[in-house]
């Protein structure tokens, strides 16, 4: 499951999308919007067709690199309030070490190469969030 969506992410549905009988571990990562001073939400701008293509390639590379069985990535677009989930990654593997490694690697790559930009939204401000 590779998706960019404006509505809330159903975490359980993402986890279910990677369940397999030959998996001994599922690692799930949730990226959440942190309450920095004066920040009420983050606005995510996404170049959707390229983001979906890049996420699909990342999932494929993670399968090859770590031998994971299934991998799903769902990312929000638009406004996500403080405390909300902005990204969910679920990774199923035969053993937990590959699942942890793949999940961590994929999230780093999402931050590095997927065309998604975030802007802080607060009471009276709108600025790009620093890395």
Among residues 45, 67, 81, 125, the one that binds other proteins under rule CB under 8 A: 45
Among residues 13, 32, 38, 49, the one that binds other proteins under rule CB under 8 A: 49
Q: Tell me the two tokens of residue 31.
A: 């990226």
CB of 51 to other proteins, least distance (A): 9
Q: With respect to other proteins, which residue has the nearer C-beta, 53 or 63?
A: 53
Q: Of 5-13, 15-23, 62-70, 110-118, which part binds other proteins (CB under 8 A)?
A: 110-118
**Per DSSP, which regions of the chain are E strands?**
2-5, 25-32, 41-46, 70-76, 78-81, 85-93, 116-121, 126-128
Residue 53 within binding range of other proteins, rule CB under 8 A:
yes
Q: With respect to other proteins, which residue has the nearer C-beta, 13 or 50?
A: 50
What 8-state DSSP symbol labels residue 98?
Answer: H
CA-to-CA separations, 75 to 1, 67, 94, in angstroms, rounded: 11, 23, 25
Residue 116 within binding range of other proteins, rule CB under 8 A:
yes
- Asked whether 3 and 56 are in contact (CB, 8 A), the reply is no
110 vs 70: CA distance, rounded Å: 17
Among residues 35, 38, 115, 125, the one that binds other proteins under rule CB under 8 A: 115
CB of 49 to other proteins, least distance (A): 5
Residue 111 within binding range of other proteins, rule CB under 8 A:
yes
């Amino acid at each position: 499951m590779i998706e960019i969506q404006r509505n809330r992410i159903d975490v359980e549905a993402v986890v279910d999308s990677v369940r397999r009988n030959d998996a001994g571990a599922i690692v799930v990562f949730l990226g959440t919007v942190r309450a920095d001073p004066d920040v009420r939400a983050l606005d995510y701008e996404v170049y959707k067709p390229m983001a979906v293509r890049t996420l699909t390639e990342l999932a494929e590379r993670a399968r090859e690199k770590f031998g994971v069985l299934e991998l799903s990535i769902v990312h929000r677009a638009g406004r996500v309030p403080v405390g909300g989930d902005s990204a969910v990654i679920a990774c199923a593997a035969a053993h937990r070490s590959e699942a942890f490694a793949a999940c961590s690697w994929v999230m780093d790559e999402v931050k590095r190469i997927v065309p998604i930009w975030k802007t802080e939204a607060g009471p009276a401000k709108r600025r790009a969030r620093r890395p």
